[in-house]
Amino acid sequence: MDVIVSHMNLDFDGLACLLAAQKLHPNAKVALTDKQHPTVKSFLAIYRDQLRFIEYEKIDWKELRTLILVDVASLKRTGIPIEELPITVHTIVYDHHSPKEGDISTGERHIKPYGAAITLLVEKLIERAIPISAFEATLFGLGLYSDTGNFTYSQTTARDLFIGATLKEQHMDVTLIDRFKEQVLTADEKQLLQTLLTNGKEYDIQGLNILVTSHEQPDYLGGLATITRKVLDSASVDAALSVVKMKDHVYVVARANSERVDLRPLMAKLGGGGHAQAASATVKKQELKIVIQQVNDHLNDLIMETVTAADLMAKPVKTVSPLDSIKSVHEKMYQFGHTGFPVLDENEELVGVISRRDVDKATHHGLGHAPVKGYMSTNLIVLPPTASLEEITSTMMRHNIGRIPILNEQKLVGILSRTDVIEQLHKSASPKENTIKGLIEKQVSAEVYALLLQIGSLADEHDIHIYLIGGIVRDLLLNRPNEDIDIVVEGNGIEFAQLLEQKLGGQVKVHEKFGTAVWTTPTSLKLDIVTCRTEYYDSPATLPIVKASNLREDLRRRDFTINAMAIQLNKNNFGLIIDYFQGQDDLTSKKIRILHTLSFIEDPTRIIRAVRFATRFNYVLAKQTRNLAIDASALLKQVSATRFLHELKLLLSENAIISGIDMLNELGVWKSLFGINVTEKQLDIIRAVKGRNEEDPFVYLLALIFDKSNWKHLVSRYALTANNQQLIRQLEAMEEINWDSKATLSELHEVFAPYQNNNVNLFALLTQEPLLETYIEKASTLPVLLTGKDLMANGIKPGPTYSDIFHQLTCLQLDEEINTKEEAHDWLLTLHKKIR
């Protein structure tokens, strides 16, 4: 028997999930708890006949085969008789809450951090093309609207909104939802609301107002969640916690409006759970005053650290001088993609700010030669590093400015832009788990994990921000092995590497030109330590000009979003993912996406890299990325042969040369470079080349275009080695050879013997001449019938004669005139007599 259950005090999200799960598991029974939210009871009073649900008491729990939990992951919260469950019961969980102690960790687990659990289940219905009736869409909508606060709660995600739109298309009745989603309080509930408002006590904790209220009554009364929400709204506080004892148990329900409040740690201590701004717990058989004390003792745990300007600001700051020309500032804006710069005088004091608008106006009037001081704004709005996010936001809105210099003791230490603030607000609103400390510990070796912790602590001692970057970040999120450790430093990477050498031992090799160093640990691990850099391109397909910068700009210069993430290693934020460009979303959707529209133009080799990553992970290029790659494919002509062949070599190293060539063909690369569209016949030749275990990318390039009349002209620029150049010469010479289609194999050998065997083999493969292929196959399998020792034994002195003898013997073998050692020896005796 299979049974579907949800949590006690059943709300609309839980009820909707029960119905959706029943559609996913049509052979399962739905067991309904008798502890339901009052609005759910009202709904069931009208619509129960349309739901095939049964009471817990009618389930023989001992016969259970599969238990399906929805909107909950803890058996205790379901209220079922756990002691009656068979040991072998299989569990399936559909939930949207953050995992916590006591949750089921075995069986099937479908957990997504959505605003409502019903979003997850409706996704499953859509995936399986299971139809949804109008009534079902309405109940699903009730669960969705109620658990997301009409899409206003912070845990609401884009998927919740999408599913809402989908349900509307399935004839969801929003008027019915509006009727049931808001509970009309009964007289008893109104009395409890008034009592809680009267009993409430406010606490000022780190600048936030937290209200704690309590009450004790002999009878159980549902709807405490709704009442607590009304307490929060009526009291105009940042968070409200209701602690109410009813009968033998104490019920704690909390709601919050501030993103700085996270209710989950406190509820976890009380044995409950929920979301950051909506959580609850039930403490069984406990005195009210004891629970109130527990709540008060842990109020500080509710408040997350204030985000300050020091946390968000970009540093080091790029600045200009009052004497710099408008033209030079315009070039600097292009180089770094900035829309303004602080202006510092000769004493390093902030004297102004110049924006792109100022520069554009001056340039428009032909004043590019004029100094910055004549056009900069001197009405300075600045903040200290301790300014809170709220203060930063209000300052920007009040003064309508897009950037704020951050001063510490009158010295410029950083700068904040609207982008910084928007990204922080988005990060706060996102329910995505941003810390993967446990994942790092699980995936890297114990030695590497301990070393990363040491490095983070050492950075903290010197007030340095350091991050893990590169492919290891992506591969950690994909659960792929990778211990190629690259560490980027906001500051001087070389100095930090030398600090590691001084404190932890090992050796450092410095590359001053690039601001990088390689630190070899005492146990021979190699770590690349680099300075945060930015780069710009003077022209397409050239190497970039690199300058020191900050983490955001360092990540912005990378090729694809999935490679533009970092993990902070500093102790307090160890494991925090920095993902400015939504790389995690692209990992989830399995897409390769460039960071900006000029990416392929600046470096066309990224087209080949995009293909390499797509083949490695079985991803697709995002639509815009694909279109931009097609548009920029002609620029690969400007890429040096060395860089181009290097990218093909990487495709080869990942065993993706065939699929890579095919995908590059779809992007128009071969059409742009050589005027060809690769056919299946050419791909067959490439497969044959691969079958020879060919490791030279030049050979694959040659194989692609050999059937073109001007192949030599097309391929010559890529022939970088003496072997490549000799191959071209020999292929060209072999093309000039004329032979009769009825020629014997020995006659072919006479013609092709002067050329290297590998080159002849390749020529046969490229031309696909049947007779030549027969010759190659026969020549490669001829047995050795005579050796130099045999010749010496017959009195033939070593010299050029040996080569002639072996050549003649090969011809005779090819024509099958000599097949055995005895025949070869007889022939040699006859030949020796002639030679003498």
Query: Residues 39-56: pLDDT tens digits?
Result: 888 788 788 778 889 999
Q: Closest Cα partner for 440 from 431, 427, 430, 453?
A: 453
Q: Which pLDDT band holds residue 537 (cuts at 50, 70, 90)? A: very low
Q: Which pLDDT band holds residue 426 (cuts at 50, 70, 90)? A: low
Domains of the chain, by residue range, sit at 2-181, 187-302, 309-429, 434-579, 590-720, 788-835
Task: Indicate if 434-579 has the same CATH topology as 309-429.
Answer: no
Contact present, 521 and 458 (Cβ < 8 Å): no
CATH of domain 187-302: 3.10.310.30
- Measured from the Cβ of residue 119, the count of other Cβ atoms closer than 10 Å reads 29
Query: pLDDT at residue 174 above 50?
Result: yes
Q: What pLDDT shows up at residue 186?
A: 77
Q: Which of 32-46, 142-156, 755-769 has the lowest mean pLDDT?
A: 32-46
**CATH match for 590-720 among 3.30.365.10, 1.10.3720.10, 1.10.287.610, 1.10.3090.10:** 1.10.3090.10
The strand pair at 278-283 and 273-274 is best described as antiparallel
Contact present, 569 and 452 (Cβ < 8 Å): yes
Contact present, 660 and 652 (Cβ < 8 Å): no
Dist CA 84 CA 145 (whole Å):
36
* Mean pLDDT taken over the chain: 88
**CATH match for 434-579 among 3.40.640.10, 3.30.460.10, 3.30.1360.200, 3.50.70.10:** 3.30.460.10
Q: Which pLDDT tens digit goes with each residue over 699-713?
A: 999 999 998 889 999
Contact present, 350 and 382 (Cβ < 8 Å): yes
Dist CA 326 CA 324 (whole Å):
7
> ω into residue 481 within 30 of 0, thus cis?
no
CATH of domain 309-429: 3.10.580.10
Q: What pLDDT shows up at residue 182?
A: 62
Give the largest CA-CA distance in the chain: 129
Dist CA 316 CA 313 (whole Å):
9
Contact present, 240 and 228 (Cβ < 8 Å): yes
Q: How many helices (H) and strands (E) does the chain have?
A: 37, 27
Is 2-181 assigned to CATH 3.20.19.10? Answer: no
Contacts of 708 (CB under 8 A, 6+ apart): 674, 675, 676, 714
Contact present, 560 and 585 (Cβ < 8 Å): no
The one-letter amino acid code at 685 reads I
Structure tokens given for 404: 């704020």
**Judging by beta carbons within 10 Å of its beta carbon (0-12, 13-18, 19+), is residue 330 exposed, middle or buried?**
middle
- Of 729 and 277, more confident: 729
The count of C-alpha atoms lying within 13 angstroms of the C-alpha of 697, restricted to the half-sphere facing its C-beta, is 21
Structure tokens given for 570: 């500093």
Distances (CA, A) of 614 to 595, 608, 621, 633, 658: 16, 10, 7, 17, 13
Q: Which of 206-215, 502-511, 536-545 has the lowest mean pLDDT?
A: 536-545
Q: What pLDDT shows up at residue 181?
A: 64
